[in-house]
A and B are shown apart, each in its own frame.
Chain A
Amino acid sequence: MLLFLWIAAALLGGFLWAPLVPALGESTRVLYFHIPSAWVMSVAFGWSFLHSVLYLMRRRIGHDDQAAAAAELGILFCIGAAVSGALWAKAKWGTYWNWDPRETTIFFLFLVYGAYLALRSAIEGEEKRARLSAVYSAIAFVTVPFLIFVVPRLYATLHPSPILPQAGERGSIDPPIVVCFTAMLLGFTALFFWITSLRVRLVRLERRRERSEAAA
């Protein structure tokens, strides 16, 4: 409950209170959604990868639950980031999708984790599914830096560089923007962890129900 109020407040603040960044005009607003989405997407995938590796090392099914839940949410935030990015692109440059390197990267991340979920649904047996999807998650994660950092360097980019300037350029970003932005960032992150924990709890309950049914 508190979380939703928090996010709502940050959103409202972003729309009504904070001024606009000169270069971007009205479309500044998208900052509050697009970047936090993309950020959480990265957090989600990192979390998923971490638990995949932990599963392989420790073989506790709880890790696999976390990895799967995080990947599912990661995809949602990925879609959110892509859609908000497309809306912004339309406003700014006139087209929704351009195969700009950043857009391409997000799309391929979506494919990678879509593949992860497709793989999971194709394997029977809890242990086998956990183990094999962890292996795939691990190898997918090591290729991600290439997708994010390397591929864009091969092609010129239309995507703006970091919107928030470095510390040396103090004064060019108004505090209210930073406040709302940071609030959204934190709010989204908290949202992610909360929903993930709900999802994991759901999976655990289902498993317990299956076990008691099997024993009956």
Chain B
Amino acid sequence: MPHDGSSSVAAVWAILRKECRSEWRTRYGLNAALLFAVTTLTGVSFAVGRLPDRTDLLAALLWVVLLFAALASLAHAFVREVEGHTLTLLRLVASPTAIALGKLLFNLLFLAVLEAVTVPLFLLLMGGPPVRWGPFLLILGLGSVALAVTTTLVGAVVSQARGRGALFAAVSLPLLMVVLAAGVSGLRAQWDGNPIGAEARILLAYIAVVLGASVLLYDHLWED
């Protein structure tokens, strides 16, 4: 398939910038996600209090909060296009892969901003043993990439179905169990002082496999 490589990269970049600019203008996506995360976090903190030594709970709770905030907000990149009927416009200027990758990068950025606020707040409220920043950020980073890669593809699919909100969470969650398991195990390990090699490799492999499969599947997403 003859593809103008340079214009594909240009398309991905253009879409990423457009998403950022659009999000900046309306801001309701990021605001909603932050509000959701902080509220959930507050609720958890009230209920559970500080957990200075329960590393298993800490790891699980952090991922649950992030996961829920992500599921509540990452679909909207596609839903916005569907509701605004701008998909035709997009499809006329960029390939499906470029569209999906642009959205993926945006979702990653979105998650990064979300975590930059949520994670410090979590550590502040919940306590816990000192963090080994290297492994901590590695697991968090890999887990987030895995989250973004999965939810981008699922979001693109679900945005074309009815009942989008609940369906998106229901359809993404089973696939994300791997990420959750490895992410929780990894965070717990770094708090316990154990190596995180296994979890990091699992997440990396997962990312490679899902991204690889996604690139093959993106072309089939929009044919209406």
Residues of B within 8 A of A (CB): 150, 153-154, 157-158, 160-163, 167, 170-171, 173-175, 177-178, 181-182, 185, 198-199, 202, 205-206, 209-210, 213-214, 216-217, 220-221, 223-224
Q: Are B161 and A119 in contact (CB under 8 A)?
A: yes
Q: Is the interface of A mostly helix, strand, loop or mixed?
A: helix
Q: Knowing A111-B174, A122-B167, A151-B178 are in contact, say whether A146-B185 is a contact too (CB < 8 A).
A: no
Q: Which chain A residue shows the least CB distance to B161?
A: A122
Chain B nearest CB from A152 CB (Å) reads: 10
6 smallest CB-CB distances across A and B, nearest first, come from: A111-B174, A122-B161, A112-B174, A146-B178, A115-B171, A123-B161
Q: Knowing A111-B173, A115-B171, A118-B171 are in contact, say whether A132-B163 is a contact too (CB < 8 A).
A: no
Q: Are A135 and B181 in contact (CB under 8 A)?
A: no
Q: Which of A119, A138, A150 contacts B167 (CB 8 A)?
A: A119
Q: Which chain A residue shows the least CB distance to B163?
A: A122
Can you report 25 A-B residue pairs in the complex whose CB atoms are below 8 A from each other? A108-B174, A108-B177, A111-B174, A112-B174, A115-B170, A115-B173, A118-B167, A119-B171, A122-B163, A123-B162, A128-B160, A132-B160, A132-B221, A135-B157, A136-B171, A139-B213, A139-B217, A143-B178, A146-B178, A146-B206, A150-B182, A150-B202, A151-B181, A154-B181, A154-B199
How far, in whole Å, are A139 and B100 apart by their CA atoms in the complex? 15
Q: Are B170 and A118 in contact (CB under 8 A)?
A: yes
Q: Is A30 close to B, CB under 8 A?
A: no
Known: A147-B177, A150-B182. 6 other contacts (CB 8 A): A115-B171, A119-B157, A131-B223, A134-B220, A138-B213, A146-B209
Q: Which chain A residue shows the least CB distance to B158?
A: A119
How far, in whole Å, are A136 and B174 apart by their CA atoms in the complex? 12
Q: Which chain B residue shows the least CB distance to A115?
A: B171
